[in-house]
Amino acid sequence: MEGMGVFLCFMALCHSASTLQLTGPSVHTARLGSDARVPCLVTVDNPPVDPEHITIVWFHQDKEILSYDKSVRTTSPRYSLSTEELGAGTGDLTITNIQIPDGGMYKCSVTYRSETKEKEIRLDVGAPPQVRITGNTGVKNNESVLSCSVTGFYPIDIDIRWFRDGERLKENVIVGDFQRNPDRTYNVTSTLTITPTEEDKKRTYSCRVQQEYLPKLHQEDIDLVYKEGPSAGIIATGIIVPMAILLIAGVLWWRINQRRKASGKFIVRDIKGPPKLIDGEETTLYCTVDNSPENLCVTWLIRRAGQEEEEIQTSQMRGHSEEEKESLLDTSYVIRSQPEGRQYSSSLSFIPHIQRHRDVTFICRGVSHPHKEEKKYHCRIIYVRPKLSPPVMRRLLDSGEMKYLLSLEKFYPKSIKVIWTCGVGAIDNVLSSTDSSSNNPDRTYNVSSEVTIPEERHKDPGFRVRVTWDHEAMEEAESRELTMRDPEYTWTPVVGEIEIPPIFHDSKATMWCKISGYFPDAVTVRWIRSPDQSTKLYEEIDAVFIPKTIPKKETDNTYTCTATLTITPTLGTHQGAEYICLVDHPSLEKPIEKRTGRLQVYAKPHMLAPIEITMAASSRVQFSLTLQKFYPKDITISWKWKDSNGLESLLSPQQTFTTQDNNITYNVTSVVQIPVYPFRDPQMKIIVEWKHESMETPETRELSIRDLPWRPHVGSISVPNLEDGKEATLTCDISGYFPDLLSIAWFTKMDGDLTALPIESSRKDGTYKMSHKEKKQKNNTYCCEASLTFTPIISSDRGSEIICRVEHPSLERPIERSTAPLHIVLKGKAKRGTREDVISSPEAPPDNPARTNNVPSVVTNPADRYKDPGVRLQRSVRESAKVYENKTKMANTPHFKTLSR
């Protein structure tokens, strides 16, 4: 049965276990200003997910921003998580009003039934551009500028092209410098310079923009507003000579053409093409045939090195739309042919590829039987533009320098120029770089170029690094400029929340916050107090301002430091104040701000004097506790007494509050009165406890009957003259004690042996009788006279001592009083020289520095006794271990010293 129980328990555990999995895309995109959900899908073996057993923590750039453990806690109201969707396994992070700094790596950490999994998701944030063309007026034969303004886009990569009636324009196109907006988006302007002619009246100019966050190509069109230039009379002189030259050339061309028409021959003009064939960019070759007969057939052929020429097989098309151009593949060819009277035009459009078209010859052949004529176009070089992949990288080195790395891939030919510059403002210092190149299987090349720049150069917020590269395949050089305020710069300070200790009135307190992950070591810290933003706390007399501790260099070569502020707060000045820590760094547009929130200043209650114990009316004992200088006023003080059986009884105190420190802090006196009967239990305890917001734990005081100030005062034993066989009474006065729980015992001591005397016992030669009469005094304490009545016998009692022992609950140990060794004379036989009278002297043992005791003994003897020449004064000294602190015992035998007259 036990084995079956274990098996069932094991099966239950297996059933409750759940294998945790996190799924979702590794990259997610969002548009600037939108609301986005960073996906994290939770799956378990036994769905649905139980929200009571799941914990989710979201991190952004390794900093915790949201957590869920039965409730959601976030560092910003922009972050949220839907608890209603947790059962379906949706742990998505929702971010409202996405901004560019929200981009980067996010991590979803999920713990479910003691199993933990993590998943990283990269959030790419982008913004599509706004496009607008300005300057639509053109003056005939005068240069005019069209501007295409592209604004508010991110990331910086963008393609801007100009077209005229669908034909791309590459000449006279300039792309300006990229300008950065406060929200980290970019603006740029591209201009096109034209010289309008009569034909431009009906032409349409277009600015086409392509960017990854545009759903499709965006094109803005503009119809040119055409204006006539200066009058013909003004410019006639300037055009007469060119017109004459053109007229002569036209006549000559007409004569040649007429001769060829008469002979029936046609002319194939040289193939016209772009000056450079760029890999991946559509190109068109143009072939024109003059004096074309009606039966003319024009074909395009291709000949690769070492191979026979072959005709390009494709359908001839009368037109070629922009959509068809965009859809051309590098393996496709499109031919357009168009006869225009005696002239025949044919074009071949294709996308060059370095491997497929290098050293290829295109042939345009015209055939009209029996005549054949052709022209050739040799593709000697296919240029490949360098691709920037990945973006310019930065890396921190152990030496404290920063390395910048540019990687350009798959370009041809090999020759490329890379220049690095850096500086502040308009200053550009050329840097020496280390370059290395490599070959690709497709005959293209790669190059890596890197520079290292010392840390000190980066401490100026205006410091920038620019890398420029130029290549034969590029229309113009490209460049990238990097600053420490780029969104991609990852070593900006991470400032933790301000750690605030408990703040107590008139006690120093140090607030601090950790600053980490920054480079270079150029953090500055300011502390200010709100609402006066100009108040610098280090100007306060009571503040010790330490901007930051000595920075520590971490293993990733970033820095970490701690900003601290020590103040001595007072309730009058600092109650409700808010402190702000401003952390600035060259990588920040504005300082990072961390706030303490409104401070709560406390003052701990102080017990400056012990609990006061006094006697109240009706024999009640009063206990008074006074606590001083605390804030706020609310305080809890409870009294109770507990008997020897552990039973407790609560007491109702009376409390009186007063103010101190100019009515800022408070004092309180708590008073209770306890009747006499609980004190009859010697184990009874009085317990008082107080609690206050400023205290981590309550404080208590415990009192017992031994803390009462009313302890018994025991006087000396009064001894009469003792005669053999004659009854005598010894007395001892006891006073000032409370409560009336006194215990008295009598002892006899002979030769060091202590014997307790019974309360009443008989012996053949006498009886001991003990008594004490107790009465209450005006101050409600008690007093009594203890007495011992017995009949002394010389044979048994002479030389012995009588001891009175007094015990009371307020005493740690009993109080004892002792007589001198008893001197007993024969009844009726006291004679000169034989009579012995005992004279008592008070004991007053003062302490001395040697921790021994001096005992002065003074007696008074009547003068008439010295009339007898035989009178003697004998002193007996016996030391008691109770009297002397060193507890050195003298011999039990008394020490006698006899003095004569």
> What is the DSSP code string of 493-559?
-EEPPPB-PPEETTS-EEEEEEEEEESSS--EEEEEEES-TT-BGGGSTTEEEE--PPPEE-TTS-E
Confidence of residue 250 (pLDDT cuts 50, 70, 90): low
Query: Do the domains at 263-383 and 494-602 have one common CATH topology?
Result: yes
Q: State phi, psi for 124 to the nearest 5 degrees.
A: -100, 125
Whether domain 612-707 has CATH 2.40.50.180 = no
539: exposed, middle or buried (C-beta count within 10 Å: 0-12, 13-18, 19+)?
A: exposed
> What is the DSSP code string of 609-678?
SPPEEEE-GGG-EEEEEEEEEEBSS--EEEEEEE-TT--EEEE--EEEEEEETTTTEEEEEEEEEE-SGG
pLDDT of 889 above 70: no
Residue 591: what pLDDT? 94
Helix (H) / strand (E) element for 121: namely strand 115-126
Residue 480: what pLDDT? 93
Q: Which neighbouring-strand residues pair with 703?
A: 686
Q: How far apart are CA 421 and CA 481, in angstroms?
A: 9
- 579 close to 588: Cβ distance less than 8 angstroms: no
- The residue written with tokens 């769905």 in the block is 47
Q: Express as a percent the part of the chain with pLDDT over 90.
A: 45
Confidence of residue 644 (pLDDT cuts 50, 70, 90): confident
- 464 close to 470: Cβ distance less than 8 angstroms: no
Residue 549: what pLDDT? 75
pLDDT of 1 above 50: no
Number of neighbours of residue 310 by Cβ within 10 angstroms:
10
Q: How far apart are CA 48 and CA 88, in angstroms?
A: 6
Q: What is the mean pLDDT of residues 703-727?
A: 92
559: exposed, middle or buried (C-beta count within 10 Å: 0-12, 13-18, 19+)?
A: buried
| Alpha-carbon torsion, ordered 51, 57, 58, 62, to 10 deg | -170
Whether domain 494-602 has CATH 2.60.40.10 = yes
Task: Name the residue with higher pLDDT: 176 or 686.
Answer: 686
835: exposed, middle or buried (C-beta count within 10 Å: 0-12, 13-18, 19+)?
A: middle
Pick the CATH number of 263-383 from 1.10.10.10, 3.40.50.300, 2.60.120.10, 2.60.40.10: 2.60.40.10
Task: Name the residue with higher pLDDT: 835 or 255.
Answer: 255
Q: How far apart are CA 99 and CA 315, in angstroms?
A: 51
439: exposed, middle or buried (C-beta count within 10 Å: 0-12, 13-18, 19+)?
A: exposed
| Contacts within 8 Å (CB) and 24+ apart, 543-548 | 543/567, 543/568, 548/515, 548/523
- 894 close to 877: Cβ distance less than 8 angstroms: yes
| Alpha-carbon torsion, ordered 229, 235, 240, 242, to 10 deg | -50
Q: How far apart are CA 285 and CA 418, in angstroms?
A: 33
Confidence of residue 6 (pLDDT cuts 50, 70, 90): very low
Residue 242: what pLDDT? 54
Considering only the top CATH level, what class is 18-126? mainly beta
pLDDT of 871 above 60: no
Give the list of residues 6+ apart from residue 119 with CB closer than 8 angstroms, or none: 22, 23, 24, 40, 107, 108
Residue 848: what pLDDT? 43
Residue 548: what pLDDT? 67
CA distances from 611 to 429, 614, 680, 852 (A): 80, 10, 21, 34
CA distances from 71 to 23, 47, 52, 792 (A): 23, 21, 10, 91
Q: How far apart are CA 694 and CA 604, in angstroms?
A: 5
Task: Name the residue with higher pLDDT: 380 or 586.
Answer: 586
Q: How far apart are CA 504 and CA 818, in angstroms?
A: 58
Considering only the top CATH level, what class is 387-483? mainly beta
- 668 close to 654: Cβ distance less than 8 angstroms: no
pLDDT of 897 above 50: no
Q: What is the mean pLDDT of residues 35-57?
A: 89
Helix (H) / strand (E) element for 573: namely helix 571-574
Q: What is the mean pLDDT of residues 220-237?
A: 61
Side-chain-side CA neighbours of residue 474 (13 Å) = 17
- 449 close to 467: Cβ distance less than 8 angstroms: yes
Backbone conformation region of residue 456, classed left if phi is above 0, alpha if psi is from -120 to 50, else beta? alpha
Q: What is the mean pLDDT of residues 246-272?
A: 65
Q: How far apart are CA 89 and CA 812, in angstroms?
A: 71
pLDDT of 632 above 50: yes
What is 713-900's CATH superfamily? Immunoglobulins (2.60.40.10)
Q: Which tens digit of pLDDT belongs to each residue from 815-853? A: 999 999 999 998 775 444 444 444 444 444 444 443 344
Backbone conformation region of residue 33, classed left if phi is above 0, alpha if psi is from -120 to 50, else beta? left
pLDDT of 253 above 80: no
Q: Which tens digit of pLDDT belongs to each residue from 93-138? A: 999 999 988 988 899 999 988 889 999 998 989 999 999 888 767 6
Q: How far apart are CA 815 and CA 802, in angstroms?
A: 14
Backbone conformation region of residue 442, classed left if phi is above 0, alpha if psi is from -120 to 50, else beta? alpha
Q: Which tens digit of pLDDT belongs to each residue from 488-536? A: 999 999 999 999 999 999 899 999 999 999 999 999 998 888 765 555 5
Domain ranges of the chain: 18-126, 130-227, 263-383, 387-483, 494-602, 612-707, 713-900
Q: Which tens digit of pLDDT belongs to each residue from 141-159? A: 778 888 899 999 988 888 8
Residue 20: what pLDDT? 87
Considering only the top CATH level, what class is 130-227? mainly beta
